[in-house]
Structure 1
Amino acid sequence: MSTIVECKKLCLRRCMLALVYSIGVQYLLLGFFLFFINFQVLHPLRWISDTISLLFSFYTWFSIIPLIGAVVLYSILLGKSFLAVKRYYPTRFQWLIYTAPRKVLFFILHLLVGYLTTWLYANYWHVDYRNMICDCFGTKCINSRYLFLTCVGLFAACLHFTKENLRTDPELEFPIIQELMLVRIRSLLYRTLYNSLLRSFTPTICFGLVYWLLGGILNRYFAGILAIDVDESTLTFFSIAANVRLIFYAWILAAQILSNMHLMQHFFAIHLSEEVTFVIERKPVLCGVGVEEITLVDALSSSLVPVVQNLAAHDLYNLSNNKGDPRRKEIFALSVPGAHPYNWNQLSAQCLSLINAFTEELTTALKKISTVKSTPLFASIKPTTATEAAEKILLRQYNETYGIRRMMTEPSIENTTTTKQMSPACKRVHEQVEKLKKQFDQALRTTFRTIPGLYYMFGEPEGAKTAYLLSNSDTILWVVQGLAGICAASLTEDKYGVVQVTLPQVIKSLLTLKTELDKLNNVNLNGKKMDRNFITLKNGIKRSLYNICTVFRDYLRELVESTEDLRKLQCYVHYVET
């Protein structure tokens, strides 16, 4: 239990740091907005000084509090989504039932952040755009310009929700080349601020056309609620298209909201995916009290905190590639006292447990795919050795000498006491009932599939479980390659030969997983002939087997007992496996 608590503490610290960055970016985006709004080309120094003084004024700090509160709520839900244990939903109906509350909450928080951002920025717009109600022709009218900008803010929030959170959940992405966190954040800021201006221009123009068509209905609705008039002159196409300031405000506002939502989500992804160097064994301190550290084995076994498990698998992969890491010596070291390879035994047992569990789930999922052939990929005929052939010849000569004939296998006698002989009439009735039963079952299946939307919502797509396993196979990929890399390095670094005891089990597990993946060569997953996750995992296992076979090519006959497995490994030794 203490290991799970320490793992959650690690994630909590990172989530708090991501929250601080998310709050800080609110001031940064507001500063950019004020920089554009207070543009004065003839007085650049006054332009900069007014923007800075307005940004750090007490009024601004007080006005931004509601938006920060919404950001905190959104960050809490975002952090829980990143840390949640992934679950497989067989049908779309189950996915809808279990994810609908979280999706609705995400949508509400998107709208809240979009509205509060618009409300905050409205305080710094031109006086004609700040209030919901304005003066027109000596009476009170609904301010269509303010309503237009408010709808733009809500539309931008809905646009981000539709693209990023409607069908998918937030996921961590580990970069191929690990950079410093500040470098990643800086590049993220530059890329986001630039791309948001480009990507928000077209949606803003499209929304302006939709508002020109439906804006009159919306204005009359709010005017009826507030019991005021509607200024029809501000709802024409020319009044919207010719209002450069309105289009500029809408464009900047949409870009700010899209940038804000994108940055908050990626701040969590960057902080949670930052590399961690786990210890191999806990170091004792004074008074015999152990330091509260997370070992690599404990992190790999923390399935309830998948973020830490992914970090541990990535750390194992980096450890196998870094020859100068002193932790490699700790893996091959023996315990004092006792001289037992505890570190390697625990690490290899945990890695093999993850690999074998994934293989079992994949095997079970493959049985539900009709296109996967049940015949083995390789011939299961065991070649006869010279010793066995000589024994058969001697046995046959002995039998011929003493006149011993081969005993014929007698047919099995059925138990007549339990199975009664049916009459021809009963047999025909029984066959007819079985036929009707099969026809009724087939009719139900056909009806279930032909009714529009029924199978789509309540039926499990073929290969969905396999596609789910492959899409979440990053941890297995890193574990496989990390374990294979350590095994390959053990030939020169393992002074006590602790790895060679477990090496046959490692080879067997990798071959078994490779065999199961080979069954998917001609299977379409998610409508794609070749799934990217499948290709990545299969190539990772092939690299691992090539790595082991290249190093231990002269010792494979002593390590592997099965002739079939040895024949497969020879393909990797001679580099002919495809």
Structure 2
Amino acid sequence: MSSPAELECKKLCVRRCLFAVTFGIAIQYLLLSIFLLLVNFSLLHPIQWVTETFSLVFSVYTWLKITPLISALVLYGIFLGNSFLAVPKYYPSRFAWLCGTFLKKWVSFVLHALLGFLTAWLYAGFLSEEYNVLLRECYEGYCLNERYIFLALGGVYAGLYYFSKERFTGEPEIVFPVIQECKYVKIRSQIYSVIYMSLMKSFVPVMCFVLVYWVASWTVTSRVAAVFDAEPDESFSSLTSIMLSFRLLLYTWILASQILCNMYLLYICFIIVLTTEEHFLIEKGPALNRQEGVTIVEALSLSKVPIAQHLASLDLFNLATSKSSERRQQIFSLSVPGGHPYNWNQLSGQVLSMIDAFTDELTQSRKTAPIQSAYFQKKLPGPMPPATLEAERILIRQYNESFGIRNMMGSPPCRSPPPSCNMTSPAMNPCDRVNDTVEHIGQVINDACRSAFYNIPGFYYLFGEQEGAKTTFILARSQDIIWLTQALAGLCAASLTEDRFGVVQKELPVIIKSFLRLKAELDQICNMNLNGKKLDRNCIALRNAVKRSLYKICTVFGDYIGDLIADMDELRRVQCYVKYLET
């Protein structure tokens, strides 16, 4: 059962998604108005052109005709909102990704094709009779109108083109802007750029669609004609006839750009409304006068609602870096009655648990990373020593030889004695000996099968886990940790002058230890060469954030570090930050 805080956060997300869908519906009317202004252009009668266009836009006929498209847009908005709010899943192989996302991709495929067709059907209805009917009268009864089929298939093609380019391999991801602005300002600034981008991006796909339609036109028209018992239209039997229909190509280009523009704007609107800052409560009032809302600690603990964790982490970061200390005073305050640092203990405990859990995930992913080369490269007799260690050995040997010093170090003793050594070993139970033999045979068979299967072309591509994929997946979702580490460091730095009760100093050693542990893990990961390349910029961004946080704490508490940290190894590492020697 969901907690009250989780229900409140879900309501907040639903309200924002409803705003995005409403904006998508308004964008439909705006794009339809632009389309009608273009197709009904009249240079000789400009006033009549504008008045007739807007009267048509706001007529009852237009409202009824656009209803199917709005219904499909609402379904697409619900699907897109669920994709944004879902918890990200890790798929170790491409086959697991296909099995886990097949149903979702199929629904997305159908929705994009439906939106493209309904948009083409809606816009074609406002054109002349040459383009807005499927069947037209001819000398033999009814004939297909190939121009209408061309526009309808062009709309479906535009929707599927957007799906294959943006949604087939990738999932919708929320990217928070560097600078927060009013959402209406951001939406207005995006409209112009998206319209221009859609016009440019749709030109080449429309030309590709012309070639595809020319190749498959006879098959399409003959089957549609058989369904409606009509004569097929052969007006576009050649590529030249299609290319000479400038008006049809212009309508198709405008229609494809409208579809792409609507898709991009709806996606951008979801990101804008979901990333708008939200101010959470620091604490709730007494039971008799409890405030409605969600606290930062409650929002940070909602792992099933990732967007709530993102917003709470961003709010805590803004709180720690703000010039105003009003909300920070609530964190440093004591409870009444009791006089306990309840707010700080809850907040620091939740943040540290998230940071430590993230560090544990990184450590586990690094230790359990699959080694791809084990199945494709020949095994060497022994591990190759690092270049730095080998260079040190050469220098030591040269130094000893120059001074005539003998090498007193013998060969390292073997860990297990050779079979020829006469050493008494404890007698093994026959059952244990049989079990060990069976386990060894099973392991040999398992390794042989894996090696044989992984050498099959394409097998590892589908069923193998890429080296470092789990680590890259974890680092790609490290934005919360970037905010939380800097927020916790900012609160610690501000506590020196704002914390009247000294509630922060008690947790400083634990915070520094957690940051040092995360920094050490990131140093190892960023220096690794996984899957033939260095890890992406997420690792560098997170490591720099942790380093800034440590520098901020050590700069403020540099004179008291010796009194705060008892462990000598940690003190030695922290002194590098105090003396500005860490890079």
Q: TM-score range by the shorter chain?
A: 0.7 to 0.9
Q: Which amino acid is the alignment partner of residue 100 of structure 2?
A: Y
**Normalising by structure 2, what TM-score?**
0.87
2:25 is matched with which residue: 23, 29, 49?
23
Question: Contact (CA 8 Å) 1:136, 1:231: kept in 2 or not?
Answer: no
Distance 1:29 1:525 in 2: 47
User: Which of 3, 6, 12 is the matching residue for 2:5?
Assistant: 3
Deviations 1:349-407 (A, max 9, x none): 0000100111111111110236899x9xxxxxxxxxxxxxxxxxxxxxxxxxxxxxxxx
In the other structure, the counterpart of 1:420 is 427
CA distance in 1, matches of 2:38, 2:532: 46
Question: In the TM superposition, what is the alpha-carbon distance from 1:136 to its structure 2 partner?
Answer: 4.3
Q: Is the 8 A contact 1:140 1:229 kept in 2?
A: yes
Q: Residues 37 and 430 of structure 1: is their aligned pair in 2 closer, same or farther, counting only changes over 3 Å?
A: closer
Instruction: Verify the 8 A CA contact 2:472 2:535 in the aligned structure 1.
Output: no
Picking from 154, 157, 176, the partner of 1:155 is 157
When the two chains are superposed, the root-mean-square deviation of aligned CA atoms in Å is: 2.5
Q: Following the alignment from structure 2 to structure 1, what is the Cα–Cα distance between the partners of residues 77 and 553?
A: 44
Gaps of 5+ in 1: 376-415
Secondary structure of the 1:538 match is helix
Residue 329 in 1 paired to residue 348 in 2? no
Given the alignment, which residue of 565, 573, 576 partners 1:568? 573
State the alpha-carbon separation in 1 of the partners of residues 335 and 159 from structure 2.
57
1:340 matches 2:345: no
3-state DSSP of counterpart to 2:271: helix
AA aligned to 1:20 is: T
Which amino acid in the other structure matches residue 350 of structure 1? Q
Of residues 3, 13, 16, the one that matches 1:14 is 16
Secondary structure at 2:270's aligned position in 1?
Answer: helix
CA contact (8 A) 1:144 1:235 kept: no
CA distance in 2, matches of 1:325, 1:137: 84
CA distance 1:420–1:526, shift in 2 (3 Å)? closer
* Counterpart residue number, 2:475: 470
Give runs of aligned pairs for residues 257-268 of structure 1, distance below 5 A: 257-268=259-270
Q: Distance in 2 between matches of 1:459 and 1:301?
A: 34
Distance 1:451 1:11, change over 3 A: same
CA separation in 2, counterparts of 1:51 and 1:504?
Answer: 70
Q: Partner of 2:390 in structure 1?
A: none
Cα deviation per residue 1:174-212 (whole Å; 9 max; x = unaligned)?
A: 100000010011012111111111111111112112212
Structure 1 range deviating more: 261-270 or 134-143: 134-143
Counterpart residue number, 2:208: 206
Query: Is the contact made by 1:283 and 1:290 (CA closer than 8 Å) also made in structure 2?
Result: yes
1:199-278 equivalences in 2 (<5 Å): 199-278=201-280
In structure 2, what is the equivalent of residue 556 of structure 1?
Answer: 561
Map of 1:64-213 to 2, 5 A cutoff?
64-213=66-215
- The answer for unaligned runs of 5 or more in structure 2 is 373-382, 386-422
Q: Cα 1:371–1:477, aligned 2, differ >3 Å: closer, same or farther?
A: farther
Aligned to 1:366: 366
Distance 1:292 1:48 in 2: 50
Matched length: 532
- Confirm or deny: 8 A CA contact 2:370 2:465 kept in the other structure: no
439, 442, 446: which one aligns with 1:441: 446
CA contact (8 A) 1:275 1:311 kept: yes
Distance 1:527 1:128 in 2: 58
How many Å apart are 1:276 and its aligned residue? Answer: 0.4
* 1:284-310 deviation digits (Å, cap 9, x = unpaired): 5xx814122111111111111111110
| Structure 2 Cα separation of the partners of residues 432 and 298 of structure 1 | 54
2:218–2:237 CA contact under 8 A, matched in 1 = yes
Letter in 2 for 1:201: F
CA contact (8 A) 1:278 1:295 kept: yes
Q: Match of 2:295, as an amino acid?
A: T
- Which amino acid is the alignment partner of residue 262 of structure 1? Y
Q: What does the per-residue CA deviation read over 1:293-329, in whole Å, with 9 as the maximum and x for residues that have no partner?
A: 1111111111111111100001111111102141011
Residue in structure 1 matched with residue 506 of structure 2 by the alignment: 501
Q: Distance between the aligned counterparts of 1:194 and 1:546, measured in 2? A: 45
Change (3 A) 1:439 1:226: same
* Residues in 1 aligned to 2:220 and 2:96: alpha-carbon distance in whole angstroms: 36
Tell me the equivalent position of 2:492.
487
Displacement of 1:12 in angstroms is 1.3
What whole-Å deviation, never above 9, does each CA across 1:229-280 have from its counterpart, x for those lacking one?
Answer: 2232323112111111101100000001111111122221111110001111
Q: Determine the C-alpha separation between the residues in 2 that align with 1:161 and 1:84.
A: 19
Offset of residue 79 of structure 1: 1.1
C-alpha distance in structure 2 between counterparts of 1:227 and 1:443, whole Å: 62
Partner of 1:394: none
Distance of aligned partners of 1:527 and 1:208 in 2 relative to their CA distance in 1, 3 Å threshold: farther
* Cα pair 1:371 1:523 within 8 Å, conserved: no
CA deviation vs aligned residue, 1:112-157 (integer Å, no higher than 9, x gap): 1111111111111121111112234554222211111111101110
Aligned identity (percent) is 50
Deviation of 1:437 after TM superposition, in Å, equals: 5.2
SS in 2 for 1:302: coil
AA partner of residue 257 (structure 1): I
Work out whether residues 344 and 499 of structure 1, in 8 Å CA contact, stay in contact via their aligned partners in 2. Answer: yes
CA contact (8 A) 1:275 1:315 kept: yes
- Check 1:147–1:421 CA distance in 2 against 1; reply closer, same or farther (3 A cut): closer
User: Aligned-pair distance for 1:75?
Assistant: 0.9
